[in-house]
Amino acid sequence: MVKKLVIPIAGLGTRFLPLSKVLPKELFPLVDKPVIQYAIEEAKASGIKEIVFVTRPKKKEILDYFKESADIEKTLKKRKREHLIKEFQNIKELMKGISFSTVSQAKPLGDGHAILQAKKVTKKEPFGVFFADDIVDSKKPCLEQLEGVFRTSKSPVVALSRIPKERISSYGVVGVEKISNRLFKIKKIVEKPDKDKAPSDLAIVGRYILTPEVFSYLEKDKPSKNKEIILAEALSKMLDDGKVIYGYEIEGKWLECGTKSSWLESFLYLSLKNEKYGPKLKEILNEIK
């Protein structure tokens, strides 16, 4: 099984400015917990033992969120706020069995450059990659779904989801050869194609299982026009060299949090599903109608 996970969090969150000036977008709430916690919960449920955050210097808020807060907990105990104490205990339980480390990405030079910074930590092992902007609401954790393919193939696996034609030009899209139900062999990757020229309706979700071989391609990759090293371009060059990369159409709902509007949509979706808050929110929505 894949035991290591890389999560790039060095971005500036420009789409959320000025909010992200004081609060990293990964800590924006989704119902009653931050975006990043959904990723950690999925990782834990998928058997991940080590998480590597690729972060920029001085961006410590995310790690601080998961650290123990003895003073706050002591105050809560004195005030007998048992429901809040339980929230802290849930985070402690989530952290059990997982080690955390950080590597630095001093400048935002692309997602491929971020992953490259984790080379020394991942060593020669396969590893997962999560982009915290993407959440998958599913019965079976998304990473575990990808692991099912990786166990037999030992080749990189990319999470895929079908996108309506009118939205296809906003995503990385793959050309594929179908192998079986939900499983594909990726033939090419096209970034933000015109809707009439897209090779399929399968878009890349921010979930991957990669092999150490990807680092040599990232190291050789030339920066894009924006002076960035892009993971999709490295994967495309692997395909050009005859390397096998699989795509798996994930089971579950893909929730995006990369823009203000998509974050609000995801917030509303998860809030309405929530047993505690959903019923009241539905009442309010009916009143607005």
Q: What is the CATH number of the domain that holds 161?
A: 3.90.550.10
Q: Pick the residue with more confidence: 289 or 45?
A: 45
User: With 90 as the cut, is the pLDDT of residue 228 above it?
Assistant: no
In order of 32, 33, 253, 268, 279, the CA distances from 282 in angstroms are 17, 20, 20, 10, 5
User: With 90 as the cut, is the pLDDT of residue 81 above it?
Assistant: no
Q: What is the pLDDT of residue 82?
A: 86
User: With 80 as the cut, is the pLDDT of residue 6 above it?
Assistant: yes
In the predicted model, what is the mean pLDDT of residues 249-275?
Answer: 95
Q: What is the pLDDT of residue 11?
A: 81
> Looking at 86-95, 146-155, 196-205, 276-285, which range is the least confident one?
86-95
In the predicted model, what is the mean pLDDT of residues 193-219?
Answer: 94
User: With 80 as the cut, is the pLDDT of residue 183 above it?
Assistant: yes
Q: What is the pLDDT of residue 121?
A: 92
Q: What is the pLDDT of residue 56?
A: 85
User: Is-cis flag, bond preceding 18, omega within 30?
Assistant: yes
Q: What is the pLDDT of residue 268?
A: 95
Residue spans of alpha helices (H) in the chain: 35-45, 61-66, 70-78, 82-95, 111-116, 119-122, 142-153, 213-220, 231-240, 260-273, 278-288
Residues β-bridged to residue 157: 209, 246
CA atoms of 73 and 171, how far apart (whole Å): 43
CA atoms of 226 and 55, how far apart (whole Å): 20
Per cent of the chain over pLDDT 70 is 99
Cβ atoms of residues 38 and 156 within 8 Å: no
Q: What is the pLDDT of residue 119?
A: 93
CA atoms of 277 and 270, how far apart (whole Å): 10
CA atoms of 51 and 43, how far apart (whole Å): 8
Domain of residue 235 covers 4-288
User: With 90 as the cut, is the pLDDT of residue 5 above it?
Assistant: yes
Q: What is the pLDDT of residue 85?
A: 87
Q: What is the pLDDT of residue 213?
A: 95
CA atoms of 45 and 2, how far apart (whole Å): 12
If one counts the domains in the chain, the total is 1
Per cent of the chain over pLDDT 90 is 70
Across all residues in the chain, what is the average pLDDT?
Answer: 92
Pairing of strands 202-210, 127-130: antiparallel
